[in-house]
Amino acid sequence: MTKKTIRIGTRDSQLALWQANSVQKQLQDFGYKTEIITVKSDGDIMLDKPLYELGITGIFTKTLDIAMINGQVDIAVHSMKDVPTALPKGIVQAAVLKRANVLDILVHKGGLDFLNKEATIATGSLRRQAQWWNKYPNHKVVDLRGNVNTRMQKLKDNDWEAAVFAAAGLERINLKPDSFINLDWMIPAPAQGAMVIVAMENDSFTIDALSQLNDIETEICTYIERQFLRTLEGGCTAPIGALAKYNEEDDTIDFKGVLLSIDGKQKIDIEKKVDIIEWKKLGFNSAQEILGNGGDKLMKEIKNGLKK
């Protein structure tokens, strides 16, 4: 068998490079040769129709998917919450790394008095926005986009009171400030805090190498959350949160899922505790309960609202 060099594809943001470097270190610890290749984001590449027909939908993952399909890189490392639930043809999930902090946090500018009066909170996420409005209906929520460094800078430069971030991203690159609170009432994005590595389906050498990095507990929990998302969403972006946690002491899984209207006024949630043997259908069954409990109607309203 050829001992090939595994080429790790990554975007060039600080967080993306941190993720690629951590995978590189783990692979090298197992004795594999690796190389990191940065790929410019999708704005720099002309996308032609056939690639879209492969089902590439993730704005953060598209460029790397194309680089893999074109043979420029062997694997891509992603924040799993950014990865569409349907992977492009020929690309497979090869490993899910041990999960980091799952929580959303509120980064503020010192003092939390604003929580009880009018305030402006920044987030680019429909899920965070809807959950925030559900709890603080009198607050204004503004859009915030860009990589974590850009978003932290925008928070400093604007007169917003606070912004919502995933704790894991800030912790990984030591950007988490002292002025934050954990939003433990906010249900995170499906697979938040987890990193996934994808590879080409026909590349058995690389898939075998990556299997050694897989964390089975994280793989199961993120599978449940993404199955919940996929069953509800049907290809539409909507305010959906999901979190599955494995309990070692009694071999059970706790699951929390939520679907909200864009304005946060409607909220349908679910909590379940099941035996580990029921994990394969937990996300699907939970989503079906939400759909049957008014979620079907709400998803139709969200789809129509987003088209306008």
267 within 8 A of 256, measured Cβ to Cβ: no
277 within 8 A of 269, measured Cβ to Cβ: no
- Helix ranges restricted to H, 173-215: 204-211
Distance CA 182, CA 31 (A): 39
In 155-286, which ranges are E strands?
Answer: 162-166, 180-182, 195-200, 240-247, 252-260, 267-275
Number of CB atoms found within 10 A of residue 22's CB: 15
82 carries an active-site annotation: yes
80 within 8 A of 191, measured Cβ to Cβ: yes
The β-bridge relationship of strands 162-166 and 6-10 is unpaired
Q: Which of 12, 29, 82, 251 is catalytic?
A: 82
Contacts of 195 (CB under 8 A, 6+ apart): 19, 22, 23, 77, 78, 79, 80, 96, 97
Q: At what angle do helices 14-29 and 148-157 cross, to 10 degrees?
A: 150
CA of 113: how far to CAs of 109, 110, 161, 184, in Å?
11, 9, 10, 19
Q: Alpha carbon 152 to chain centroid distance?
A: 19
Residues identified as active-site? 82
